[in-house]
């Protein structure tokens, strides 16, 4: 059994910057981490490997430094990894990203399960996983919060819904998107870190895949960021300072008068 785990390297939350002209995230020179929700997908894949035996393959699409995220996944327990990196992919939205990743998965082939994090923290759309399944024409089980079993080429899971959870099943191959309740990510082992350090991540280019150039990058992205702007605080306020004890009374009286005026007292 082969399990594929698509991963994404995202900017550290405090380091997110936007290019106001193109409407895309600036990734160069910004501290990046593996998408936190993808860690839960990695952990579930490792648990399935331990229980059923499987080859775990991590894949990612991004600039060359995204290989760091794949090496981190290897240190946790992923067996091998591939990076899809090409300037032609720059500016891809979720639809064209899913298209390119699906083409890469088809090239890898012979997979039973694809496990994705529910969403990426930089885009927060939750669209790429289901879109990959759509391109591959396989079933998708979303918001998986508990794995039950694999039996006779069928997988059984709990799916999180507003009222609780559902028990669903799907034939294999299938794609899962998982929420953080599905597992508790383990820390990398020393052996895993040594393996990751020695591992060379193969870099796959667009011309190695059956990809239509017009369907990737900005030109292949049907969604556009029309405008980016910084919010302006338009409301005004009154400030009354009590820098010493003698000013406390007047400040409290001023506050009480204001609240009374607004019918809040």
Whether 161 and 261 share a structural domain: no
Residues 48-104: pLDDT tens digits?
999 999 999 999 999 999 999 999 999 999 999 999 999 999 889 999 999 999 999
Dihedral sign, Cα of residue 50, residue 52, residue 54, residue 60: negative
Q: In this structure, are 215 and 253 located in the same domain?
A: no
Which helix H or strand E contains 225, and what residues bound it?
none
225: in domain = no
Partner residues linked to 6 by β-bridges: 59
Range of the domain at 178: 2-220
pLDDT at 235 over 80: no
| 231 part of a folded domain | no
Q: What is the CATH number of the domain that holds 70?
A: 3.40.50.620
pLDDT in tens, 2-34: 999 999 988 776 655 666 666 566 656 667 889
Distance between CA atoms of residues 212 and 159, nearest Å: 35
Report d(CA 144, CA 4) in Å as an integer.
16
Strand 154-161, strand 140-151: pairing? antiparallel
Residues 241 and 212 occupy one common structural domain: no
Any alpha helices (H) in 92-243, and if so which ranges?
A: 94-108, 128-136, 190-198
Note the pTM of the prediction, 2 decimals: 0.80
Is there a domain that residue 230 lies in?
Answer: no
CB 172 within 8 A of CB 154: yes
Q: Is residue 109 part of a domain?
A: yes
Please tell me the total count of domains within the chain. Answer: 2
What is the pLDDT confidence band of residue 218, given thresholds at 50, 70 and 90? confident
Handedness of CA 69, 74, 76, 79 (dihedral sign): positive
Same domain, residue pair 249 and 214:
no
The DSSP annotation for 35-82 comes to -HHHHHHHHHHHHHHHHH--EEEEEEESSGGGHHHHHHHHHHT--EEE
Which structure tokens are listed for 208?
């190695």
Strand pairing report for 154-161 and 164-171? antiparallel
Q: Are 141 and 41 in contact (CB under 8 A)?
A: no
Domain co-membership, 139 together with 257: no
Q: Are residues 258 and 193 in the same domain?
A: no
Are residues 138 and 264 part of one domain? Answer: no
3-state secondary structure of 143: strand
Average pLDDT on 110-119 reads 95
Nearest to 104 by CA among 131, 130, 84: 84
145 and 243 inside one domain? no
Round to whole Å and give the CA distance between 184 and 187. Answer: 10
Residues 154 and 250 placed together within one structural domain of the fold = no
Cα–Cα distance measured from residue 262 to residue 265, given in angstroms and rounded to the nearest whole number: 8
152 and 248, same domain (yes or no): no
Residue 246 CA to residue 210 CA, distance in Å, equals: 78
């Amino acid at each position: 059994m082969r399990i594929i785990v698509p991963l994404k390297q995202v900017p550290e939350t405090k380091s997110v910057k936007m290019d106001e002209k193109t409407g895309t995230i600036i990734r160069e020179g910004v501290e990046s981490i593996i998408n936190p929700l993808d860690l839960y997908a990695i952990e579930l894949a490792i648990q399935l490997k331990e229980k059923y035996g499987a080859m775990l393959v991590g894949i990612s699409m991004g600039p060359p430094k995204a290989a760091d995220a794949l090496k981190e996944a290897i240190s946790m327990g992923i067996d091998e990894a591939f990076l899809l990196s090409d300037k032609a992919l720059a500016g891809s939205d979720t639809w064209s990203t899913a298209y390119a990743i699906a083409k890469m998965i088809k090239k890898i082939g012979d997979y039973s399960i694809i496990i994705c994090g529910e969403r990426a923290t930089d885009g927060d759309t939750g669209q790429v996983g289901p879109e990959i399944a759509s391109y591959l024409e396989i079933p998708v089980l979303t918001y998986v919060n508990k794995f039950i079993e694999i039996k006779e080429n069928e997988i059984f899971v709990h799916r999180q819904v507003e009222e609780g959870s559902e028990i669903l099943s799907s034939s294999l191959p299938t794609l899962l998107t998982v929420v953080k309740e599905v597992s508790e990510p383990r820390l990398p082992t020393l052996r895993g870190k040594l393996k990751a350090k020695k591992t060379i991540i193969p870099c796959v280019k667009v011309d190695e895949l059956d990809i239509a150039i017009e369907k990737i990058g900005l030109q292949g992205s049907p969604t556009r960021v029309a405008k980016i702007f910084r919010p302006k605080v338009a409301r005004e306020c009154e400030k009354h300072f009590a820098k010493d004890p003698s000013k406390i009374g007047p400040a409290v009286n001023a506050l009480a008068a204001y609240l009374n005026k607004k019918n809040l007292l």
